[in-house]
Structure 1
Amino acid sequence: MCAKRFITRLPVTLHVLAKAPLPGQAKTRLMPLLGQQGAADAHAELVRFSVANACRAFAPKRVTLWTALEHQHPLFTALARQYGVTLTPQVSGDLGARMRHALNADPGPSMVIGSDCPSITPSLLRLCAAQLADHQVVILPAEDGGYGLIGTQEDTPSLFHDMPWGSERVLAKTRDRLAACGLTAAFPATVWDVDRPEDWQRWLQFRRKPT
């Protein structure tokens, strides 16, 4: 099912999806390098960085942190106090269902990111919002064949249903569905995420750079 061809000028909202940093349940592919607690701590660091970037790009009232695993985890409540973002539990279902629900939680255009893509800077978030003013969809392709951000003007079910989440085919399949629906899309930049041990080393180098 395709969305209507429609452009709105309402302010863009931003949605951040994040798991609670529970040992053994967060950043499991980093566990061979960091151990269970170390991987959980790494995840918490990335969540804090993502929320900080979101609130540097947009007013906190336009940012929602969607929580999973433990909705009242101290990390989430601390971030809500520090930045004034809204905390909302993620719905059940696969990644597509959770992203689509977040994107349609507020009227007007919206964007969603995960918490493991530190290469999405505040300036890049603002650029994506600007692109979404003139396109029906905005996407930041990821180096691994997925994407780090997607934004939509309105509900577009076909972009989120029956997708090969977690595979290198996500972006290609998304492009195919955009074309099939005749939707205009912008792809402002390619980003990278932190998933594997080598990505963590890249992040360590990245965070040492002066801002």
Structure 2
Amino acid sequence: MNTKKKNLLLIFTRNPELGKCKTRLASKVGDYAALEVYKFLLEHTVSVTQNLNMEKYVYYSESIWKNDVWDNTVYQKKLQNGNDLGMRMKQAFLDGFDSGFEKIIIIGSDMYDLSQKNLEEAFAKLDEHDYVLGPAEDGGYYLLGMTSFKEELFQNKDWGTDTVLHNTLSDLKNENYFMLKTKNDVDHYEDIKDIPVFQQFLKHIKE
């Protein structure tokens, strides 16, 4: 199996619909600006993943869109399946391992702080480690990778809270894992208000 066939990148994304994405950000900047920010983040995620030499699956939250930023010739498109984020991620990993992939990493689609090089490094770390984890500043994680399936990682988590990283590390305490650099994902106005590239979406905001 060549590298492309061994490595799988899972990208979890929300369908970019008005009023349905980045709701915490929208509470400050409004639904329209939040949607524009999210579309910008999707395009960024495409730019840092499209040239990776591996299989790439995009998992949609609501429905599969045929014609969007995710090129059908680059990404396989699938639908998330499960009652909560843990169940949906678990199913995606299981599908990947069942298909014969040896190294699988999952990311979201709202990380402006992520580069192609970061993702290549994460896959490289799985040569010497069984798990790789990218901690987020808000107490969650922006990346999870593994070479063997571990069900506990997807159970007993209060998803979307600042306890997820701590509880995930507890699950990994007896495992051979690597921690990447902490990064900031985009959930709140404070996450983007001082980053120049986002100013175009925030002109209407009054502090």
TM range (shorter): 0.7 to 0.9
- Deviation, 1:162, is 1.5
Letter matched to residue 89 of structure 2: M
Q: Which residue of the other structure, out of 199, 203, 206, is the alignment partner of 2:191? A: 199
- Deviation, 1:95, is 0.9
Q: Which residue of the other structure, out of 34, 57, 74, is the alignment partner of 1:84? A: 74
Q: Which residue of the other structure, out of 18, 22, 25, is the alignment partner of 1:23? A: 18
Q: Is residue 69 from structure 1 mapped to residue 62 from structure 2 by the alignment? A: yes
Q: Is residue 137 from structure 1 mapped to residue 131 from structure 2 by the alignment? A: yes
Q: Which residue of the other structure, out of 147, 160, 173, is the alignment partner of 1:153? A: 147
- Deviation, 1:170, is 0.9
**TM-score (norm. length: structure 2):** 0.85
Secondary structure class of the residue paired with 1:51: helix
Q: Is residue 185 from structure 1 mapped to residue 177 from structure 2 by the alignment? A: yes
1:13-36 superposed Cα distances (whole Å, 9 cap, x missing partner): 101000111111101112133321
User: 1:19 & 1:62 partners in 2: Cα distance?
Assistant: 20
Change (3 A) 1:11 1:204: farther
Equivalent residue, structure 2, for 1:5: none
Query: Structure 2, unaligned stretches of length 5 or more?
Result: 201-207
Higher helix share: 1
User: 1:187 & 1:178 partners in 2: Cα distance?
Assistant: 11
User: 1:202 & 1:17 partners in 2: Cα distance?
Assistant: 26
Secondary structure class of the residue paired with 2:187: coil
Q: Which residue of the other structure, out of 99, 102, 109, is the alignment partner of 2:92? A: 102
Letter matched to residue 71 of structure 2: A
Work out whether residues 104 and 154 of structure 1, in 8 Å CA contact, stay in contact via their aligned partners in 2.
no
- Deviation, 1:121, is 0.9
Percent identity of the aligned residues?
Answer: 26
Change (3 A) 1:20 1:126: same
Letter matched to residue 80 of structure 1: D
Q: Is residue 174 from structure 1 mapped to residue 164 from structure 2 by the alignment? A: no
User: 1:207 & 1:99 partners in 2: Cα distance?
Assistant: 33
